[in-house]
Structure 1
Amino acid sequence: MSSAPGQLQVYKFKKEARISQETPPPYAFPADLHDIADYLPGGTELSSLLPRLSEQDKYYHGIIFINSTSQPTAGNTEEKDVLTELRNVYNTTIAQSRISQTPSEISKSANYRRNQATKETLLLDGRYDFRDPANTTAPPVEIYNPAFSQFLADIADPTLEVPEELIPKVAKLMDLASAIYNAEDTRRTKLQGPLNDVLDCALARVTNSDGTAPDGTGLHVLIKMTSKAAAICIEEYKNEYGEGSTDVTTQASFSMQRMWSLPENDFIRERCCCPTFLVAIGGPWIGVLGAVLTHKSIVQRLTDLAWLGLSTPLEEQRCIRLSKLFYSLARALHRLREWYNTELPAFPLAATPSHPRFFPSITSYPSPSGNVFFRYLRPLERDNACVAFLAEIVEGPERLLEPSKTDEQGQLIVIKFAARYCVEAHELLADMGMAPKLFHCGQAQPRRPGLLLIAMEYLSGTTVSGLTADQRQSCKVQSNVGNIIKVLHDNSLVFGDLRTPNIMYVNGSFKLIDFDWTGKEGEARYPPFLSTGIHWPPGVQPSALITREHDMELLRRLG
């Protein structure tokens, strides 16, 4: 195994090979390919077993990924545990989805509420049972595929020009949407053709192998490497919104999960997170959603429900706004179709613990010496909403990274996504050894200023929350962290979230690691969503100004 890090290699496994230290002879080839991984040379991981093998074959052939060995991954046991947990949750999601109620049944209000209270089957769509709340938030779908980011950028772009020929098509659709139909099938029949026209694609009713069927699935993209196709857009209709005690956006979500879980879609599902657009139509209302399948189904409303009907004779400007929505969606569907045809991996990745489905699709950031390319290793939190990842700098697709202090191949880094970040405070403390080195902070996706990618040094240590009471006392947490806070306050900066998970203890010194809330005193505010499970200092309220007094009270509590 002399291949360079970052490369793939075909590896041969003899069927008689030993596969477990506990397995007595004679040895048999394992059903679970992960059992082999422990016996591979260091710095490799098994990605997949090559297909089209017969029982008579003397050897199995597998795809091996060559990891960088220039720096060992810190917490490798934890990394393996986290990835194994994600894979197990994913397997449960697929298995449960195949045997669950049909999308039309499970999306009914009572069934949906029960589903969202069930850890094994809940959707990550933001909805939860009020009697048994679970965290159903998740990272934004746009970090998993650029088509979602393009859609959101387009609908927010005031300079985007809509083709003139599209506007009368949308006007026709609005007129038809205003009608009150006697049945759901009638509404779907009347609207389907005009909707296909405004989206410049063909959406047709397709039945899954288990007999379930979204009202319309579209853009069956023929994957160029095989004859396999992927339905990358799903429509759901309700004759009137809320009819049948069902939210049409929820039914579309379950239709997506059911479709991708079925065996006929294994080919695609083993290679990616199945990015899909959902178009929900309830009476004269329409909404667009984005969905991916990571360890669970993540579904997010990309638009509010838009009124598609006509109310007055003075609807020209709203017609133009709707035209922009449909044009943006058509462009995004074209981008997604292109992605499936050109960027889908050529081999299955289902046997890889660190499957790309678990991580964002963004794998580089700019630096003064050129783009830095990295690969994700694991999430840094065991939480559905985790947006921080341990990553490793790798060889880029175009050139080797030039060695430097901040972008050496094999270096461990933290990649984080945020809506806001105080670069000034982070760099101030990093220069004084009071924070990790900051390598990059900028837009995660083109034309999407509200989503930031932050790359920073990985600190191999523990958070203060991991220290015992005696350790905290001997390390003088309060006085040492107080020195860091004094530097911020002396520069008219406030931190805001001075809790133990945001303070690292590394080689005898303390460092702050989270600057999402940090900012100028008198300007920085708490986010509108504050955890109710945390005992905040007096005066801390959603969207309230962050004060020095708040920082000092949280500092006092560290003692």
Structure 2
Amino acid sequence: LNGRPLDLIGPPITLYHRAFSEFLENFEDVNLEISPDIFNWITDFIFAAAEFYDTEDERLEKIRDILSKKWTIDLIEYQDKSGIGHSCDGVFMCKIKNKLTAYIAFIEGKNEVGSGGCDPSIQGAIYYRDHWSQHRAQEIRNSCCVPSLIITVAGPWFCVLGAVFLNRVVVQPLTDTIPFTVNLRNDVQVMRIARLFQALDIAFDHLTSFYQKVELSSLPSDRRVFPYIQQAGFGKNAFSFTYICEILDDHSRPIWKAMRDDNNKMIVVKFALKYNAKAHIICAKKNYAPELLYYSDEEEAKRLGGYKMIIMEYI
């Protein structure tokens, strides 16, 4: 589910792991502190991205060479069901329990826009699906939604996407397509690129920590297909809940049936970019709508990628 065509859209991935919305917050934060080691090579990276290359391999090798100053990037090959070997242009990995490997991020690139005969975001999504579908990744896949980042390159244009594996793979862009053809004397443009890599670095650390702590399972957990947020309210009014199922077979309208853990009452949990809570309360007082139990404040909405969590009685 990657929005191509538009009816193939999945639920917001920011609801499934905090690393995605945290990446967005950091990338947009003009006051984000940039580590010195990123500053050391950011100009070289901009020059390398804007350069012309004869082949795709030459471009990607140069990009991997610079990124390797900060991160370890592996090239691993796998076989599809027909036995044909494939490899993406780079994988960021970490070792976890039972000597298993978690895939933090994937790089997929083309020499220039329009070259290579394929959209790198689609190809990157396929590599994400294929790597996480391997038998050796099954214990991890059983335990969580296996969140990963996908970094696409097309000439001097970069984009970051996020991916989760629910009952189907969901891939969504986290950034626009970012040009690296910038004026090096324009601090605003250069700092935006520096923030991109700093935000990626923080996200890599977040995902690495997550995978190293994940409780592996030999059987699929139904919890992996539900949003990560399972608590609402503050102080004495706080309560946790357990998701039961989706109410609508419409991924563009994320709404679930759930049960409160404190009193076993059924509730509806929905997520929306905008919601008129005042109108809901007025309607509820006249018995035209179920009672509104909770409504996210702006700070929580920020942590959910802009989505507000609305909880009401289930009737």
Q: TM-score, normalised by structure 1?
A: 0.53
Which one of 111, 118, 128 corresponds to residue 239 of structure 1? 111
3-state SS of 1:369 partner: helix
8 Å CA contact 2:107, 2:124 repeated in 1:
yes
Indicate yes or no: 2:39 matched with 1:167: yes
Indicate yes or no: 2:136 matched with 1:269: no
Instruction: Report the equivalent of 1:458.
Output: 314
Instruction: Report the equivalent of 1:345.
Output: 215
Q: Matched residue pairs, number? A: 309
**Bigger Rg over Cα:** 1
Q: Give the C-alpha shift of residue 248 in structure 1.
A: 1.0
Matches within 5 A, 1:211-360: 211-218=85-92, 220-224=93-97, 226-310=98-182, 312=183, 314-342=185-213, 344-350=214-220, 355-360=222-227
Which one of 76, 85, 88 corresponds to residue 206 of structure 1? 76
The amino acid across from 2:199 in the alignment is S
Which one of 273, 278, 284 corresponds to residue 430 of structure 1? 284
Give ranges in structure 2 of 5+ residues lacking alignment. Answer: none
Instruction: Report the equivalent of 1:100.
Output: none
Q: Give the C-alpha shift of residue 156 in structure 1.
A: 2.1
Q: Give the C-alpha shift of residue 165 in structure 1.
A: 4.3
8 Å CA contact 1:380, 1:389 repeated in 2:
yes
The amino acid across from 2:233 in the alignment is P
3-state SS of 1:385 partner: coil
In structure 2, C-alpha distance between the alignment counterparts of 1:300 and 1:179, rounded to whole Å: 28
The amino acid across from 1:192 in the alignment is R
Give ranges in structure 1 of 5+ residues lacking alignment. Answer: 1-123, 129-133, 395-407, 460-559
Change (3 A) 1:409 1:193: farther
Higher relative contact order (CA 8 A, sep 6+): 2
In structure 2, C-alpha distance between the alignment counterparts of 1:261 and 1:241, rounded to whole Å: 29
3-state SS of 1:180 partner: coil
3-state SS of 1:440 partner: strand
The amino acid across from 2:94 in the alignment is V
3-state SS of 1:186 partner: helix
Deviation sequence 1:385-443 (CA, Å, 0-9, x none): 3400000112xxxxxxxxxxxxx421111110000111111112222322111111115
In structure 1, C-alpha distance between the alignment counterparts of 2:53 and 2:265, rounded to whole Å: 61
3-state SS of 1:264 partner: helix
Instruction: Report the equivalent of 2:248.
Output: 381
Q: Give the C-alpha shift of residue 452 in structure 1.
A: 0.5
The amino acid across from 2:169 in the alignment is S
In structure 2, C-alpha distance between the alignment counterparts of 1:330 and 1:304, rounded to whole Å: 18
Q: Quick check: which one's helix share is greater?
A: 2
8 Å CA contact 2:142, 2:218 repeated in 1:
yes
* Cα RMSD (Å): 1.9
Q: TM-score, normalised by structure 2?
A: 0.92
8 Å CA contact 1:289, 1:300 repeated in 2:
yes
Change (3 A) 1:189 1:244: closer
Matches within 5 A, 1:504-515: none
In structure 1, C-alpha distance between the alignment counterparts of 2:184 and 2:19, rounded to whole Å: 35
3-state SS of 1:204 partner: coil
Q: Give the C-alpha shift of residue 260 in structure 1.
A: 1.1
Q: Quick check: which one's strand share is greater?
A: 2
In structure 1, C-alpha distance between the alignment counterparts of 2:292 and 2:204, rounded to whole Å: 36
Instruction: Report the equivalent of 1:127.
Output: 4
In structure 1, C-alpha distance between the alignment counterparts of 2:128 and 2:21, rounded to whole Å: 20
Deviation sequence 1:299-350 (CA, Å, 0-9, x none): 101001111234x4534321111001110111011111111112x2332342
In structure 2, C-alpha distance between the alignment counterparts of 1:153 and 1:274, rounded to whole Å: 21
Which moved further from structure 2: 209-218 or 412-421? Answer: 209-218
3-state SS of 1:300 partner: strand
In structure 1, C-alpha distance between the alignment counterparts of 2:180 and 2:264, rounded to whole Å: 52
The amino acid across from 1:176 in the alignment is A
